[in-house]
Amino acid sequence: MDIVGNVLPQVLKDEATEDKGEMARLQSFVGAIAVADLVKTTLGPKGMDKILKPTGPGQEMTHITVTNDGATILKSMYVENPAAKILIEISKTQDEEVGDGTTTVAVLAGELLREGEKLIQKRIHPQHVIAGWRIARDVALKRLRDISSENDINSQEFHDDLVKIARTTLSSKLITSDRDYFADLCVNAVLRLKGSSNLDYIQIIKLPGGTIRDSYLDDGFILKKQITIGCKRRIENAKILVANTAMDYDKIKIYGTKVKVNSMDKVAEIEAAEKEKMKHKVDKILKYQPTVFVNRQLIYNYPEQLLADSGITVIEHADFEGMERVAAATGAEILSTFDAPERAAQVLGHCDLIEEIMIGEEKMIKFSGCKKNEACTIVLRGASTHILDEVDRSIHDALCVLITTVKNKRVVWGGGNSEMQMAAACEEEAKKVQGKQAFAIEAFARALRQIPTIICDNGGYDSAELIQNFKVELQKGNQNCGLNMTDGTIGSMSELGVKECLRVKEQALMAASEAAELIMRVDDIVKCAPRKRERA
Assessment of whether the complete model's pTM goes beyond 0.75: yes
Over residues 90-146, the pLDDT tens digits come to 998 888 888 888 899 999 999 999 999 999 989 899 899 999 999 999 999 999 999
pLDDT of residue 445: 95
pLDDT band at 4 (very low <50, low <70, confident <90, very high): very low
Residue 292 scores a pLDDT above 60 = yes
Instruction: Write the single-letter amino acid at 193.
Output: L
- Cα 201 to the center of its chain, rounded Å: 16
Give the rounded percent of residues in the chain with a pLDDT score beyond 90: 33
Domain architecture of the chain: domains with CATH: 18-149+414-522 (1.10.560.10), 152-200+382-409 (3.30.260.10), 221-374 (3.50.7.10)
pLDDT band at 453 (very low <50, low <70, confident <90, very high): very high
Q: How many CB atoms lie within 10 A of CB 464?
A: 11
Rounded Cα distance, 335 and 323, in Å: 11
Is 69 among the catalytic positions?
yes
Of residues 271 and 312, more confidence is placed in 312
Is 462 among the catalytic positions?
no
pLDDT of residue 8: 45
Looking at 42, 65, 67, 69, which residue is catalytic?
69
Is 103 among the catalytic positions?
yes
Closest among 481, 504, 455, 464 to 46, alpha carbons compared: 455
Rounded Cα distance, 185 and 204, in Å: 12
Rounded Cα distance, 274 and 402, in Å: 52
Residue 252 scores a pLDDT above 90 = no
Rounded to an integer, the average pLDDT of 228-246 is 89
Q: In degrees, to the nearest 5, what angle opens at C-alpha 308 toward C-alphas 306 and 312?
A: 115
Instruction: Supply the Cα-derived Rg of the chain in whole angstroms.
Output: 30
Over residues 386-415, the pLDDT tens digits come to 889 999 999 998 999 999 888 888 899 989
Rounded Cα distance, 58 and 506, in Å: 41
Rounded Cα distance, 515 and 91, in Å: 10
Rounded to an integer, the average pLDDT of 178-200 is 86
- In the 8-state DSSP scheme, what is residue 352? E
Is 397 among the catalytic positions?
yes
pLDDT of residue 7: 45
pLDDT of residue 5: 44
Rounded to an integer, the average pLDDT of 223-231 is 86
Rounded to an integer, the average pLDDT of 197-209 is 84
Of residues 2 and 516, more confidence is placed in 516
Residue 372 scores a pLDDT above 80 = no
Over residues 406-446, the pLDDT tens digits come to 888 889 998 999 999 999 999 999 999 888 999 999 999 99
Rounded to an integer, the average pLDDT of 234-256 is 76
Q: Mean pLDDT across the chain, nearest whole number?
A: 85
Give the rounded percent of residues in the chain with a pLDDT score beyond 70: 90
Over residues 464-488, the pLDDT tens digits come to 999 999 999 999 888 889 999 888 8
User: Residues with Cβ < 8 Å from 190, sequence gap 6 or more?
Assistant: 162, 202, 399, 402, 403, 406
Over residues 50-101, the pLDDT tens digits come to 988 877 655 555 578 888 888 889 888 888 888 888 999 999 888 888 888 8
Looking at 67, 397, 453, 457, which residue is catalytic?
397
Of residues 31 and 248, more confidence is placed in 31
Rounded to an integer, the average pLDDT of 515-520 is 90
Which residues in 74-108 are b (16+ Cβ under 10 Å) and which e? beeeeeebbbbbbbbebbebbbebbbbbbbbbbbb
Q: In degrees, to the nearest 5, what angle opens at C-alpha 78 toward C-alphas 77 and 83?
A: 95
How many angstroms separate the Cα of 443 from the Cα of each of 43, 139, 224?
A: 21, 14, 53
Looking at 103, 228, 313, 377, which residue is catalytic?
103
Closest among 72, 77, 35, 26 to 56, alpha carbons compared: 77
pLDDT of residue 17: 62
pLDDT of residue 534: 65
pLDDT of residue 62: 59
Closest among 28, 43, 169 to 105, alpha carbons compared: 43
Looking at 102, 168, 291, 313, which residue is catalytic?
102
Among the residue ranges 208-212, 272-276, 327-331, 349-353, the one predicted with the least confidence is 272-276
Closest among 68, 39, 75, 37 to 54, alpha carbons compared: 75
Q: How many CB atoms lie within 10 A of CB 196?
A: 15
